[in-house]
Structure 1
Amino acid sequence: MTKTKAFFFTIIFLAVIFGVKAQSKSTESGFTSLFNGTNLEGWVGNKESYKAQDGMIVIDPQGGGGGNLYTEKEYGNFILHFEFKLTPGANNGLGIHAPLEGDAAYVGKELQILDNTADKYAELEVYQYHGSVYGVIPARRGFLKPVGEWNQQTVIVNHPKIQVIVNGTTILEGDYLEASKDGTLDHKDHPGLVKSSGHIGFLGHGDVVYFKDIRIKEL
């Protein structure tokens, strides 16, 4: 290879590298961190079971239900990124468009956060597995990393449409109003489906779960 060709390919290589970096930066543009890594400033709810620890939000209910931890601010349409790590048999939830009182699965919406592989969950309804809009839209299974490893999740909400991406794969995409127009899968009332804004929260169910790198971009 001549020096001219080598120089030419070097320029192309550097352009690609810097282009990828620029693209990576641009995709982060507009995102705001919801967790400062140090304390639970900006959050309300159960700050006894939920703790800031080593750059993570950790729910350690010590045998209790764990309760809920919500953002102080309300959000409408958004892109939410976060990472989570499950413990064996863990069950939690992501509340969206939720008020601070009541069961977020019904008065707002709840996306399941669940160890799908646990034997005790083998007979759940399809709308109860990880990533599902609880009671309304089931998510695809088989895309969680082994328990104890970190998972990456993105939730895109553009009311009434929702998309859930886990570890790079879309496991749910749909319209929760359209999906429930002839009744919900769990045959229960979900008045929160019509809500277009509310709090985002982690919904405890008595298990240890870890969260970090929680970022949001409002749409």
Structure 2
Amino acid sequence: MTCLSRLARLGVLSAVFALNAPLHAADNGWTPLFNGKDLSGWSTWITMQPPVDNMKVPTSVRGLNTDPLKVVTVVDGMLRVSGEEWGAVSTTGEYENFHLKFDFKWGEKKWAPRLSIARDSGMLYYATGPAGAQDGNWMRSHEFQLQEGFCGDYYSLDHVMVDAHAGDANQGNWKFHRYDASMPLVTDLQTRILRQGNYEKPSGEWNTMEIIADGKTLIHIVNGHEVLRMENSRQVVDGKAVPLTRGKFSIQSEGSEAFFRNIEIKPLSGPASAEKF
């Protein structure tokens, strides 16, 4: 491939795929979002640790790119999120019509108020709007849940919506759903949706997670297994539900040490439902 054709290819990719993203496309179609050296192309939003009796809302906020405790660092080519304080590290670029792939594993450290409960984090996508829209900590977004025993679940942050084939899976006063492709389609879901099947590896081992999304179809994949499929990404703007089809990626810091590597993305050449994985 000539230098000119490489530049032309990168120009098309940048125009169609990402906004303001300092990326370089690989010949295989995948583009790294994390260079393994520093946080180029990423920004942090750190909030103070919430009190033990309040699992979410922080008492105060450090803010944008202010991280005195080094909650987010680069260690041996990996992106480390310590979890010591809550918040997120987010891409500066926005993306649509993508296949995202990343490796993830748990570290050993946990912090109050999660010392005695499962480790927790998440990969947010189509993240948009204010940094602390959800509980003061995270952007409006869809969440690919990263939690011990529940990797691949879905969460709605700041009232984004999806449709999914699912049944009720309520526990006490907590109302949520369980994905089941054989169930009728449930619309306007703004809750947790449990994935189908458990394919995550034991704590401390690397997992490969994938998200395929074009706005019309959203797919969660854990270690090569599709565990959840949803439809019609939406958000409420001025009282009306409108499509949500573009946004940032954002990794949560939520009381648990986690490591990430090989974070890469490629644009879809067709509908998400036809993507190979």
Task: Give the structure-1-normalised TM-score.
Answer: 0.69
Quick check: 1:57 aligned with 2:106? no
Which residue is equivalent to 1:175?
231
Aligned to 2:215: 159
Q: Where does residue 202 of structure 1 map in the other structure?
A: 251
- Give the unaligned 5+ runs of structure 2: 1-25, 46-66, 109-117, 156-190, 269-277
Structure 1 residue aligned with 2:264: 215
Structure 2 residue 106 is the aligned partner of structure 1 residue 73: no
Structure 2 counterpart SS, 1:208: strand
Residue 61 (structure 1) shift: 3.1
Give SS of 1:147's match.
coil
The equivalent residue for 2:206 is 150
- Can you list the C-alpha shifts for 1:42-82, whole angstroms capped at 9, x where unaligned? 001145311111010011133x22x1010000011100010
For 1:185, the equivalent position in structure 2 comes to none
- Aligned-pair distance for 1:141? 3.6
Residue in structure 1 matching 2:122, options 73, 93, 104: 93
- Call closer, same or farther: CA 1:215–1:167 in 2, change over 3 Å: same
Q: 2:140 aligns with which of 102, 107, 119?
A: 107
The Cα offsets for residues 104-140 of structure 1, whole Å up to 9 and x where unpaired, read as: 8782211111111xxxxxxxxxxxx321221253212
Asked if structure 2 preserves the Cα contact closer than 8 Å seen for 1:92 and 1:204, the reply is: yes
Kindly indicate whether the alpha-carbon contact (under 8 Å) linking 1:107 and 1:192 is maintained by their aligned counterparts in 2: no
Larger gyration radius, structure 1 or structure 2: 1
Shift in Å, 1:213: 0.5
Between the aligned partners of 1:51 and 1:83, the Cα distance in structure 2 is 16
Stretches of structure 1 that go unaligned for 5 or more consecutive residues are 1-26, 117-128, 181-190
Match among 151, 156, 160 for residue 130 of structure 1: 151
**Whole-Å Cα distance in 2 between the matches of residues 142 and 164 of structure 1?**
12
The residue type equivalent to 1:76 in the other structure is E
SS in 2 for 1:145: coil
Structure 2 distance, partners of 1:97, 1:192, is 15
Whole-angstrom CA distance in 2 between matches of 1:68 and 1:203: 4
Looking at structure 2, the residues matched to 215 and 60 of structure 1 have their Cα atoms a distance apart, in angstroms, of: 21
Counterparts in 2 of 1:109 and 1:53: CA distance versus 1, 3 Å: same
CA gap 1:169/1:108 in 2 versus in 1, 3 angstroms? same
Counterpart AA for 1:82: F
2:39 — aligned with what?
A: 40
The structure-2 alpha-carbon separation of the partners of 1:161 and 1:193, relative to structure 1 and needing over 3 Å to count, comes to farther
Higher relative CO (Cα under 8 Å, sequence separation at least 6) belongs to: 1
C-alpha root-mean-square deviation of aligned residues, in Å? 2.6
Whole-angstrom distance in 1 between the partners of 2:208 and 2:94: 23
The corresponding residue for 1:18 is none
Report the 3-state secondary structure (helix = DSSP H, G, I; strand = E; otherwise coil) of the residue aligned with 2:193: coil
Task: Return the structure number with greater helix share.
Answer: 1
Matches of 2:220 and 2:247, distance apart in 1: 18
Asked if the contact 2:82–2:253 (Cα under 8 Å) also holds between the matched residues in 1, the reply is: no
TM superposition score normalised by structure 2: 0.55
The percentage of counterpart residues that share the same residue type is 29
State the partner residue of 1:82. Answer: 102
**Aligned residues, how many?**
168
Partners of 1:193 and 1:136 in 2: CA distance: 20
Distance in 2, matches of 1:106 and 1:33, equals: 22
| Runs of 4+ with deviation above 3 angstroms | 191-194
